[in-house]
Structure 1
Amino acid sequence: MERDVDDIVITGMGCLGVGGANIEELFQTFENGTDCIKELNTAGKEYHAKYIGDFPQILYKKYIPSAILRRIDNVTKLVMVSGREALSSSGLIVTPSISHRIGVIYGTGTGPLETIETVSRNMIVHGMQGVNANFFPNTVLNAAPGHFSISNMLKGVTSTISAGSISGLEAFIYAVILLKENKADAIVVLSADEWNDTLQVGYEKLNLLSQNGAKPFTKNATGVILSQGSTAFVLERKRHAIERKANILAQVYGYSLSSDNPDLNGFGDERAWCKCMCDAVKMSGNKKIDYYASTAYSIPRVDRNELKLIKSVLDNKTTVRSIPSLIGAASGSVGTFGLLSCLYALTRNKIPKVCDYQADYIEGFRELLLERKVESSIRCAAVGATSFGGSHASVIIGREHK
């Protein structure tokens, strides 16, 4: 039984973002391969890229008390809804006697960017008297998980991580490490990023935005399509989950982080990313990966690097899908939305559907990816993500060992 202390399992999940206002809606998007990208009216805007993820309409007052809703910003609303669903689906009931053993780890790529921009602009234009005191506290990156922790009486370990596009996966990995070190019995892992004009302008100035839609692994891909959303997972020490008779969705088999730090505007080459995935596979006991959730930003140099990873590290029967091609890339949450697709594959025993663009794919894509057959039983899935500066993250999960 001592070995169970080191086994970490997923017992709850939640989401709010492009593709679905909850897990069931997101899984339906994966089931149908629904294209959730829309064209944006750029008239009068400071940018020209016209594609974004189509965020669902949601009535927040159904999920968040009015007293809280009045004092929180957009990114916090995302966190509150997805985290609420994850806690509910886990069946974990927070009581005063265990609240100090339940933590919250949060990952975000851009944080409350819209709030920061609004407060800063008002301060510049109107001076200090123009700053809304109710919203100023929301300018810090850890405001969102703070609101969530207080609302749900969670008093355990807490931390906020911002590491670009790998923020969500890095938060997930950090939570696993804390649980292995017995710093908590359960941790809610949150990740959220919003879309706004400021972010769109910034990405366009870096020449990273798509001009022709989602085209992962194609020769004519021009860039990423931004979206917004939040994911949430409840992680537990396996012994704790078994004792409370929780429904275990998956077990964490392996994980790794790496960086080759080429420059601030670069994504690095494939070597550090390959090492990252290799280390995760080794930690898993060299398990066979049945499904891999690809980053596939439609940024040609990134897609080529990931294709090299797929060819050199993964089994030639691994099925690969690009989730950002369906729902766009929600900055630091892009990897955790991929992780949700892994949970879809494991719990539904299905591979997410994506569009076949019938395009001019980069060499080696079609034969390695599109023609692979889905195995009759999906037992192990992996996700990878990369970010500016050559930072990489990999996570492997699978069906629980009985």
Structure 2
Amino acid sequence: MRRVVVTGLGTINAVGNDKESSFKAICEGECGIDTITLFDPENYSVKIAAEVKNFDPSTVMEAKEVKKADRFIHLGLKAAQEAMNEANFSEDTDMERFGISAASGIGGLPSIEKNSIIIETKGPRRISPFFIPGALVNMLGGFISIAQGTKGPNLSSVTACAAGTHAISEAVKTIMCGGADKMLVVSAECAITGAGVGGFASMKALSTRNDDPKKASRPFDADRDGFIMGEGAAALVLEVYEDAVARGANIYAEIVGFGESGDANHITTPSLDGPARAMKAAYKMAGEPKIDYINAHGTSTPINDKNETAAIKELFGGKENCPPVSSIKGQIGHCLGAAGGIEAVISLMAMRDGIIPPTINYENPDENCDLDVVPNKARKAELNTIMSNSFGFGGTNGVIIFKKI
């Protein structure tokens, strides 16, 4: 099997519109959660979310084309542009051997909601002809392939909150098996709409700390009461190790392990067994190395954080053997299908700079979440191998392991 490395990164989220500003803000414990502005939340039980700010989609596509694509595609185009610029490929790159692996948990929910209202109020003849091609999840890869000129495999993962991580593993498989030499992985989500927030709120999945948004998302804290919706996008450029070395590319890390599993348990309540098996699979594939840090799924929900803690302890044979663990969802919210991608980008930057991002809003320890969660303040550390976890509704789990070369 061919070795696969990461040579370009990009992200946009609630605390930054590029990877450097995002990483700095996350490590400094800044929080992007505030009162919702993308729609009027007055009549909703949840009025807060982590929105992307000060982003103009006409900076990544022509102004007249913006209305043809949903916001999640705009965000994905921005992240992809940053990652590809950093990877800095030459003009003679074989684009027929360059593919895309895209991901989103829901896709164009704003467009779906908007056109559903149009049907009810104005009738079906007023539906936008751009509705379907601008809302489909796979159009994330479609728009980006056109923008970047990639002609290799064009894949999409739609596996809820594990989608971003699954998109990475799908890209790795494609390169390992010879289906492409390079893959652009892009995950994006924009579900901060009335239907999105209202739907998750009706499940009692969201925090209702409307009066204190900066403290609402509190992974592993005893007083956590649900996650906060976030939006954003991430992109990673993957390529064959030998090719990256030959062209003198900057290599962030090698992807040495990935694991996938299904809970077969409940459509929304996570199990302990499923995540544990995904972590074990990734760990075994990587050769059971010393893990220096785990970027946790860490949603700030009562069940996930407890189960993830137990699964990590099971993998490493007890609390005393576990590496530091942190969740960045306190800073940027839960970006659903984009979460795994954004967290992979931040993990690789943590490896680059030797800094573990903190778990913010950790004030009251929970005996069921008793790992070293790097509370409230970033920590300097030598990071040679990092694990990143993602678990989604439907009992779908994805884990990826990066190793410094």
Question: TM-score of the superposition, structure 1-length normalised?
Answer: 0.92
The CA distance in 2 between the partners of 1:116 and 1:380, in whole Å, is: 41
Q: Deviations over 1:122-149 (max 9, x none)?
A: 2333233211223442132212221111
Q: Deviations over 1:266-306 (max 9, x none)?
A: 22x21121111011111111111111111111111111101
Contact kept? 2:98, 2:153, Cα under 8 Å: yes
Contact kept? 1:16, 1:230, Cα under 8 Å: yes
Change (3 A) 1:67 1:125: closer
Contact kept? 1:319, 1:373, Cα under 8 Å: no
Change (3 A) 1:136 1:32: same
SS in 1 for 2:244: helix
The CA distance in 2 between the partners of 1:203 and 1:377, in whole Å, is: 38
1:151 and 2:133 matched = no
1:72-83 matched pairs, under 5 angstroms: 72-83=69-80
Which residue matches 1:369? 373
Which residue matches 1:25? 21
Contact kept? 1:317, 1:373, Cα under 8 Å: no
Amino acid of the residue matched to residue 313 of structure 2? K
Which segment drifts farther, 314-323 or 248-257?
314-323
Which residue matches 1:386? 391
The CA distance in 1 between the partners of 2:89 and 2:187, in whole Å, is: 19
Amino acid of the residue matched to residue 51 of structure 1? I
The CA distance in 2 between the partners of 1:308 and 1:175, in whole Å, is: 29
Which segment drifts farther, 156-165 or 120-129?
120-129
Which residue matches 1:216? 219
Which residue matches 1:229? 232
- Report how far residue 204 of structure 1 moved: 0.5
Amino acid of the residue matched to residue 234 of structure 1? V
1:345 and 2:350 matched = yes
Amino acid of the residue matched to residue 294 of structure 1? A
The CA distance in 1 between the partners of 2:112 and 2:56, in whole Å, is: 24
SS in 2 for 1:365: coil
SS in 2 for 1:189: strand
Which segment drifts farther, 135-144 or 200-209?
135-144
1:313-324 matched pairs, under 5 angstroms: 313-314=315-316, 316=321, 318-324=323-329
Which segment drifts farther, 175-184 or 207-216?
207-216
Which residue matches 2:66? 69
Which residue matches 1:201? 198
The CA distance in 2 between the partners of 1:320 and 1:341, in whole Å, is: 14
- Report how far residue 366 of structure 1 moved: 4.7
Which residue matches 1:294? 296
Which residue matches 1:280? 282
User: Structure 1, unaligned stretches of length 5 or more?
Assistant: none
Which residue matches 2:173? 177
* Percentage of pairs with the same residue: 24
The CA distance in 2 between the partners of 1:209 and 1:255, in whole Å, is: 29
Q: How many residues align?
A: 393
The CA distance in 1 between the partners of 2:299 and 2:44, in whole Å, is: 19
Which residue matches 2:255? 252
SS in 2 for 1:166: helix
